[in-house]
Structure 1
Amino acid sequence: MNLRFAGKRITGLLTVLPAYERLFVDEMANYNFSPARSLKLKDVMGYDRRRIVDGPVCVSDLAVAGFEHLFARGQLAPSDIDALVVVTQSPDYLMPGTASVIHGRLGLGYDVFCLDINQGCAGFVVGLIQAFMLLDQPAIAKVALVNGDVLSRKVSPRDRNSYPLIGDGAAITIVERDPNAAVVHASLKMDGSRGGALTIPAGGMRQPCSAETAELHEDAEGNSRAADHLVMDGSAVFNFVMTEVPALVDALLRDTGTSVDDVDAFLFHQPNRFMLHKLAEKLGAPYEKMPSNVVEQYGNSSGVTIPVATASNFAERLRRETLTVCFGGFGVGLTWSALLMELGPLEFCEMIDFPSQGADHG
């Protein structure tokens, strides 16, 4: 599906990352793997350190901290928000939706449109598409898009396929109408028949959590996980990304008359450094145009990795200039997406810690 939006732009971006940091080398003993092979995995994939929540922290906690930061600095007011879109795979509750939880904690008005979207690694692009569509309504002038996940709480510490790379975080993106904004082009595809490649089998109505679903089982590769945990078929996901994503991005660039040279930055979801380097090679893009440093510094926080890649690599430039960027998301669903737009100058583009330690990384 190809989509086109006129008169809309991103005006601000904030990421909220847990202050608690874990090092890969400190966790190697959890895996049924020799230290030498673990260190080789670290080098190839770009694992080093990651940010995860410490204790029962939820997406709403990270998001509310981010909104309060913006309110305190006068960069956003509660009355500015006409719509609140929350994209997460790890909601606070089965019901009510996390958007309603955040709405209530912030004391927002009755006329604020609240919406939850269950999406993962493509969730930033999916959320932007929804925000742009909401801005077609005369009553909605400003949308607050929240991407957030705390999936470290749903991954087995003895699963080396997933646990070394999983991080937590949230991002707040402000989207507004602007008649002078350049046209935004997007492409989105989904294939539910391959959804089993990334799944948490238990916890929904199909298979509720129980004592049985909490039991650990070892697979053929020596990973131990339960049905309550995230399960990833790494080979299937890698093949999916290498096959589908370059073709989608190539088509988007071709259809819009854009060359790789015209794009200042390819800000893609960050599963690991190895996969991003392979994607850059397939697209013919230099590595420096496709940052791949998020997993090694912060971890894979699902759809939040795109805002983190944006703020951690381009915050200063985006506060003062306009860049042509291609956002790319791919993962659970299976879903793959790309969005081409002009980004900046932004009113704010920064990173903060949760809980706040006075740190500002942007």
Structure 2
Amino acid sequence: MNLTYEGKKISGILTVLPARVSRFDDEAGNYTFPREKTLRLKPVMGFGEHRIVEDGVCVSDLCVFGLRDLFDRGLLRMEDIDALVLVTQSPDQFMPPTSNIIQGQLGLKRDMICLDINQGCAGFEIGLLQAFALLDQPAIRKVVVLNADVLSRKTSRQDRNSFPLIGDGASITVVEKDPGGPRIHANIQMDGTRRNALAIPAGGFRMPSTPATAVPVDDGTGNLRAQDHLVMNGQDVFTFVMTEVPPMILSLATAAGVALADIDWFLFHQPNKFMIQKLAEKLEIPPERMPGNVVERFGNASGVTIPTNVCLNLGHKLKDQRFTACFAGFGVGLTWSSILMTIGNMEFCEIVDY
């Protein structure tokens, strides 16, 4: 599905990452595989360091911390927020919505919209699409898109497929009206028939958590995880990404009437280093225009990898420069989405530690 929007811009991005660092070398003994064999995966997959929240830290804690930081520094005013859109798959509670929790903790105005969206790897794009739609309303002038997850708390530390890559984090993206601004092009697709490629089997109403669902079992390949934990079929996910993402990017560029060579930056979700390298090769994009340095430094915090990518690689440039950027997220759902837009002249674009 191709979508277009007019008169919107991103005026600031703040990424909030846990200060706690967990290193792959220190974790290699957690797995049933020989340590030497496990360490051989490090350069290929991009296993390095990842940021993990302390026990008890939730999505609302990261978001409230980041928003208060912006308020304190005068980069965002509480009274200017007309809508709060939170994209997460690790809410504080089943109810109330975590966006309402954040609104209440900060004492934001009542004359606003609070909305939770249950999405993961493509969550940054989906949050932006929701913000663009809300900004079509005359009463809404500024939307704050929160993208946050703490999925390390739902990932087995004895699962070499997932735990070395998983990270926690949050991003705060301010989206507002930009009369006369460049057209924005987007693309989104979903395929629920492949939903089991990335899933947490237990914990919802279909399979409530019980003592039995918390018992780790061997998956047949040496990884130990419980039904309460994240399960990822790596081969299925890799095949999905290589098959579906390149055509999506080419379709997006065609719809926008541009060549891939005309796009300055490809700021993609980063499941692992190997996948980003293969995507760059398949699309014939120079690796320097598709950075792949997030997951090995911070881990895969689902959709948060994209704003982290922006802040890490372009934060120092985006205050006084403008670029054509392609965002792309792909994963859980299965869902894949991309956005082509001009970014720059931002009021802030940085990373802070929680």
Other-structure match for 2:10: 10
Q: Distance in 2 between matches of 1:252 and 1:16?
A: 30
Other-structure match for 2:184: 184
Q: Distance in 1 between matches of 2:138 and 2:257?
A: 31
Other-structure match for 2:147: 147
Q: Distance in 2 between matches of 1:222 and 1:263?
A: 43
1:327 alignment partner AA: F
Superposition RMSD on alpha carbons, in Å? 0.6
Deviations 1:81-140 (A, max 9, x none): 000000000000000011000000010111110000000000000000000000001110
Deviations 1:262-285 (A, max 9, x none): 111100001011000000111110
Q: Distance in 2 between matches of 1:60 and 1:352?
A: 16
Q: How much does 1:244 deviate?
A: 0.2
Q: Distance in 1 between matches of 2:120 and 2:273?
A: 19
Q: Distance in 2 between matches of 1:111 and 1:92?
A: 23
Q: What is the 5 A alignment of 1:207-286?
A: 207-286=207-286
SS at match of 2:353: strand
Pair 1:121-2:117 in alignment: no
Q: How much does 1:39 deviate?
A: 1.5
Q: Distance in 1 between matches of 2:76 and 2:247?
A: 38
Gaps of 5+ in 1: 355-362
Other-structure match for 1:85: 85
Q: Distance in 2 between matches of 1:268 and 1:37?
A: 29
Other-structure match for 1:358: none
Other-structure match for 1:357: none
TM-score after normalising by structure 1: 0.97
1:187 alignment partner AA: N
SS at match of 2:350: strand
Other-structure match for 1:328: 328
1:79 alignment partner AA: E
Other-structure match for 2:28: 28
Q: Percent identity?
A: 58
1:140 alignment partner AA: I
Q: Distance in 2 between matches of 1:275 and 1:198?
A: 16
TM-score after normalising by structure 2: 0.99
Gaps of 5+ in 2: none
Q: Distance in 2 between matches of 1:162 and 1:112?
A: 38
SS at match of 2:14: strand
- Structure 1 runs of 4+ aligned residues shifted over 6 Å read none
Other-structure match for 2:169: 169
Deviations 1:22-59 (A, max 9, x none): 00000001111122221111110111101010111000
2:185–2:255 contact (8 Å) kept in structure 1: no
Other-structure match for 1:293: 293
1:38 alignment partner AA: T
Deviations 1:53-92 (A, max 9, x none): 0111000000000000000000011101000000000000
Pair 1:307-2:313 in alignment: no
SS at match of 1:213: helix
SS at match of 1:327: strand
SS at match of 1:137: coil
Deviations 1:244-293 (A, max 9, x none): 00010011112212112111110000101100000011111000111101
1:276 alignment partner AA: I
Q: Distance in 2 between matches of 1:141 and 1:250?
A: 32
1:324 alignment partner AA: T
Other-structure match for 2:74: 74
Deviations 1:145-176 (A, max 9, x none): 00000000000000000000000000000000
1:208 alignment partner AA: P
2:20–2:53 contact (8 Å) kept in structure 1: yes
2:20 alignment partner AA: Y
Q: How much does 1:180 deviate?
A: 2.5
Q: Distance in 2 between matches of 1:11 and 1:258?
A: 24
Q: Distance in 2 between matches of 1:139 and 1:180?
A: 19
SS at match of 2:127: helix
Q: Distance in 1 between matches of 2:242 and 2:191?
A: 15
Other-structure match for 2:38: 38
Deviations 1:210-265 (A, max 9, x none): 00100111011100000000000110000000000001001111221211211111
